[in-house]
Chains A and B, each alone.
Chain A
Amino acid sequence: KAGVTQTPRYLIKTRGQQVTLSCSPISGHRSVSWYQQTPGQGLQFLFEYFSETQRNKGNFPGRFSGRQFSNSRSEMNVSTLELGDSALYLCASSLTGVTDTQYFGPGTRLTVL
């Protein structure tokens, strides 16, 4: 079956702008989690959605938000971009949640200038 896909793969924005990233999970998976990966901080949990509801949230400011649609596809939004938001944003899907096998997407590389 098809793997997790993310769009776009690369994005360049300037400070103050906002951005929306998209994640399509593996068919049948109802849980989608989002992570930020940077060289300094490693992989950090942003939030997890299950059946259109946010179940868990990491320690990120309110500028980071997300949602999940009825088909389990998920989007995350970052408003008022800062230079420090430059990172690889990964989503992962699983059947039941983060304590189940998670399958990662290829990521979206966001560069904020």
Chain B
Amino acid sequence: GENVEQHPSTLSVQEGDSAVIKCTYSDSASNYFPWYKQELGKRPQLIIDIRSNVGEKKDQRIAVTLNKTAKHFSLHITETQPEDSAVYFCAASKNSGGSNYKLTFGKGTLLTVNP
């Protein structure tokens, strides 16, 4: 089955700096890669996702890049703010032949943005 590894497990940055979180996946057939943000005591929320037919996607201060050859994808947050502090999870799944498969998550990265 799919295996997703996420690094680093903790990341501390100064407000205004950039943050990068990296994930690798094992199943070359995976074609859907979402990122979720979970603030303390709250539910996970989708912040951005990418499908394997594109290499990069941006949404304001957040971007995700995908390297299918190397089987890794990364989350980039620019101009970090204290409200970006949370646990970020990457995940991978595939949609093949009209069928969906399970969603496999990385172990999460605790991002702390220091004012």
Please report A residues at the B interface, Cβ cutoff 8 Å.
31, 33, 41-45, 48, 50, 55-59, 90, 92, 96-99, 101-107
Contacts and interface: CB of A to CB of B under 8 A. Distances in A.
A48 B100 contact: yes
Interface in B38-85: 42-46, 49
14 contacts: A31-B100, A43-B89, A43-B105, A45-B105, A56-B100, A56-B101, A98-B100, A99-B31, A99-B93, A102-B46, A103-B46, A104-B43, A105-B43, A107-B43
Nearest to B6: A42
Interface of B: 1, 31-32, 34, 42-46, 49, 89, 91, 93-95, 99-108
Contacts of A102: 34, 46, 103
Given A97-B95, A98-B93, A99-B94, A45 B104 contact: yes
B95 A43 contact: no
